[in-house]
Structure 1
Amino acid sequence: MSGKQPALSVRTRVRRRIRRRIDALPKPLSLRVRRLWLSAVPITQCAVAAGLAWWIAVVLLDHDRPFFAPIAAVVSLGLSLAKRWRRSVELVSGVTVGILAGDLVISWIGSGTWQIMVVIAIAMSIAVFLDEGPLLPMQAASSAALVATLLPPGDSAGIERAVDALIGGVVGILVVALMPVNPALRSTRDAAGVLGTIRDAATDLAAGLRAQDVDTVSDVLARARGTQGAINTMRADMAGGREISTISPLYWSSRQRLQRIAATADPIDNSVRNFRVVARRALAMTQAGEQLRPEIIEIIGDLSGAYEILREMMLAPPGGEPDEADAARVLRTIARKARTDLVTDSPMSETAILAQLRSLIVDLLMVAGLRRSSARATLRD
């Protein structure tokens, strides 16, 4: 690697200092403080959007108790970055469907127990017919129930509720555009967390295989299987980051970078899945008393360094080091070791592990920016 590392910004230095202090806390407290720290901006967005939506409905439109405006703003935002635009559209559409269906049906059949059943069934049926999302039917049902129980058919309060929902949804999107979460920061942090977990797991798996330690190998498999929640969060935040770069003018210039970050979601996920298969096969061999070839164990150990440089690459600032080329060089060195002639006379289990490792290396090369065809070509003997 060459060239100087770019100077860290004041914000980055402060963030790292805070992170170190959080990490220094007792682990149960550290996890909770970190969760709060990561949610600070979305919480602020929800609070600002709720207050602003209420103010618009009360002061500008003179609505009486527009409770649904702040509710709609909070629901459309939530703490998740993903699909905020879709949540806003679903919420406003659901409220509108529920009010219209409730208004029409209750005006015709009157109100009562069985009428509530009928109007909710009709509102939810229309919503399900229009869209497969879960939010739209729920909002349609709650709005229809409100019309059937509290709001007289044809009353202006029903229309005001739909307007309040629209206000909340629009305000939520505006807040995202003007007070956005850094879309790259959260995505790369998620990815780095997953890569760091498998980095440590690869180190332990190699050690467990050398020692023929069933407990260690079993623990590695359990840890690898436990990453799915973190992977799902990573995928959601990457999708949310791309959405923010579309909505917010502040991040329009970052669209290409966010597309590259989002493109790593599939290969990271696939590499973890392949690692789980390697760990599961390795556990079966260890339990059976079979010894894996030392050269293959060495490749597994080397993967720890590969995951680490990819983790550092994800956390590096734009233009910083290590970059994709640095990571690809490390991975090509490992790829040269993963030769098919290592298992020419090996049993099926050992051959299967090497094949899985080769597939995993292809995934990691794709995380480093290579196309699948180029990554596969790297492994040709």
Structure 2
Amino acid sequence: MRTLAWTLHHNLRWRKVLAITLFGLKCALSAALAWQVAYLIAGKEAAALAAVSAVIVLQATSWQTIRKSIERVLGVFIGIALSVIIVHLLGLSALTILLTVFAAALSGLLFKPKGAYLATQIPISALLGLVVGVGEESYPALRLLGALIGGVIGTLLSLFLSPPIYAQKAQRTLVNLLEEVAQTLPTLADTVGGTVACSRQAAIYEHMHAVERKVRCSERELALGKENLRLNPWGRALQDVTENQPYLLEALEKVTRQMERIAWTVQATGQAWNELSSLHCWARRYAEILRIMGEMLEFVAERVYVITQQAQSQSAAWEYPQHSEEEAFAQLAQTQERLKEEEDALLEEKEELLIPVRNVPQTTTRASYRAVVRSSLLMDLRRMLDELEDMLVAVRQLQAG
């Protein structure tokens, strides 16, 4: 997995540079083409407005560019229409400006649910139509024409110069997260097994919390990767892989949440945890279950990476290590059986504790506390294992598709 981690890190770095360079190139080409087209149609004034619009509407993905182009054209049209109508009816004065901006602001609030940029363009275009349009009567029409030409040029270039960089980056981010969580599970297993000093339990809990927060924070990046494939003719091969991405991330987030809960349980027990783990074999058995989960999660990370590489290279000759998949599902079945045995054993102990006796000794009270701790840990382990099973099934279906 170290080689995989280095490869992913290296790919992410050069793809980030490529994305920045390509975006700058699209801005330059859009401005130049929009200026030339508008200049040939309506002259220098329209050309300048078209070049500005082409640069403004360009966004990270084609879908975002299309949305902003539509919002800009509609915003300019509504704002210009308001200014022209009010000036035509009432003339130009301070009162006219007040009424125009007030009406445009209300219109912006009305259209805000449809798009934030649309809402801001309406009052801006209305005010510019009033102020600039006094000295240049053709300005309203030129502004609308410039917005239309710039939006069309920017959209076309965004469609044809938008390789699925963000989708590929999102896939690598997902693999990185899977790998990081898989590498964190042995540390959590050591903590549960009692081989970690009490002074480090708080730090390990904070680390688990940081991993869980990192998984949650990656949702925006993965959503951008999925959006990068909308109306993108270059990213169809990644479409199926990206569709399962939110599902895998959701399952991974649930796994990390349970890991955080387990670390909190150990930390809350404090000094007594090392005593419990040293006196009772169940803590070491739980730790072993966590290590096996880490191996299964490593398998998921490797398989998602291989599927992504196959989709990008569009190679039908990619060979999958079928024995690895069989071993992963065999591990899953064995771990489910082991966890069921642990749950049954705890249930028997709980039934013994419920037998009413007089003068309950201190040892029984401690046994009750151990039962509560074990019950919490087993519940978290069961939830983690259920999520891992869903991830393994999702990866198998993704590979078959």
Alignment match, 2:143: 161
> How far does residue 287 in structure 1 lie from its aligned partner after superposition?
0.5
1:38 maps to amino acid = A
What SS does the aligned partner of 2:206 have?
Answer: helix
Is the 2:46–2:146 Cα contact (8 Å) retained in structure 1?
no
> How far does residue 52 in structure 1 lie from its aligned partner after superposition?
0.8
1:70 to 47, 51, 60: 51
Alignment match, 1:179: 161
Tell me which protein shows more helix as a share of its residues.
2
> How far does residue 207 in structure 1 lie from its aligned partner after superposition?
1.6
Measure the CA separation in 1 of the matches of 2:130 and 2:397: 58
TM-score (norm 1): 0.76
Is the 1:94–1:140 Cα contact (8 Å) retained in structure 2?
yes
Residues 69 and 301 (structure 1), Cα distance of their counterparts in 2 relative to 1, 3 Å cut: same
Alignment match, 1:267: 247
2:21 to 20, 29, 40: 40
> How far does residue 201 in structure 1 lie from its aligned partner after superposition?
2.9
Single out whichever of 332-341 and 171-180 deviates more from structure 2: 332-341
Measure the CA separation in 2 of the matches of 1:57 and 1:204: 57
Residues 94 and 241 (structure 1), Cα distance of their counterparts in 2 relative to 1, 3 Å cut: same
Residues 118 and 279 (structure 1), Cα distance of their counterparts in 2 relative to 1, 3 Å cut: farther
Measure the CA separation in 2 of the matches of 1:283 and 1:266: 26
Alignment match, 2:215: 227
Measure the CA separation in 1 of the matches of 2:239 and 2:117: 27
Measure the CA separation in 2 of the matches of 1:109 and 1:230: 53
Residues 288-343 of structure 1: per-residue CA shift (max 9 Å, x gap):
23565124312332244134313422541323646697885465244322345043
Measure the CA separation in 1 of the matches of 2:393 and 2:91: 62
Residues 146-187 of structure 1: per-residue CA shift (max 9 Å, x gap):
113222399221011011101011101211233232x2x531
Measure the CA separation in 1 of the matches of 2:38 and 2:15: 35
The share of aligned pairs that are identical, in percent, is: 17
Which one has a bigger Cα radius of gyration?
2
Is the 1:77–1:84 Cα contact (8 Å) retained in structure 2?
yes
1:348 to 375, 382, 391: 375
Residues 173-218 of structure 1: per-residue CA shift (max 9 Å, x gap):
211233232x2x5313322223213312332232233134421342
TM-score (norm 2): 0.73
Measure the CA separation in 1 of the matches of 2:255 and 2:129: 54
Is the 1:91–1:136 Cα contact (8 Å) retained in structure 2?
yes
What SS does the aligned partner of 2:60 have?
Answer: coil
Measure the CA separation in 2 of the matches of 1:209 and 1:281: 13
CA RMSD of superposed structures (Å) = 3.3
Single out whichever of 123-132 and 320-329 deviates more from structure 2: 320-329
What SS does the aligned partner of 1:241 have?
Answer: coil
Is the 2:300–2:395 Cα contact (8 Å) retained in structure 1?
no
Alignment match, 1:308: 301
Measure the CA separation in 1 of the matches of 2:245 and 2:254: 14
Alignment match, 1:294: 287
Is the 1:90–1:136 Cα contact (8 Å) retained in structure 2?
yes
Pair 1:370-2:370 in alignment:
no
1:216 to 190, 197, 204: 204
Residues 209 and 358 (structure 1), Cα distance of their counterparts in 2 relative to 1, 3 Å cut: closer
What SS does the aligned partner of 2:397 have?
Answer: coil
- Mind listing any 5+ residue stretches in structure 2 that lack a counterpart? 1-5, 278-282, 347-373
1:344 maps to amino acid = D
Single out whichever of 105-114 and 194-203 deviates more from structure 2: 105-114
Count of residue pairs brought into register by the alignment: 338
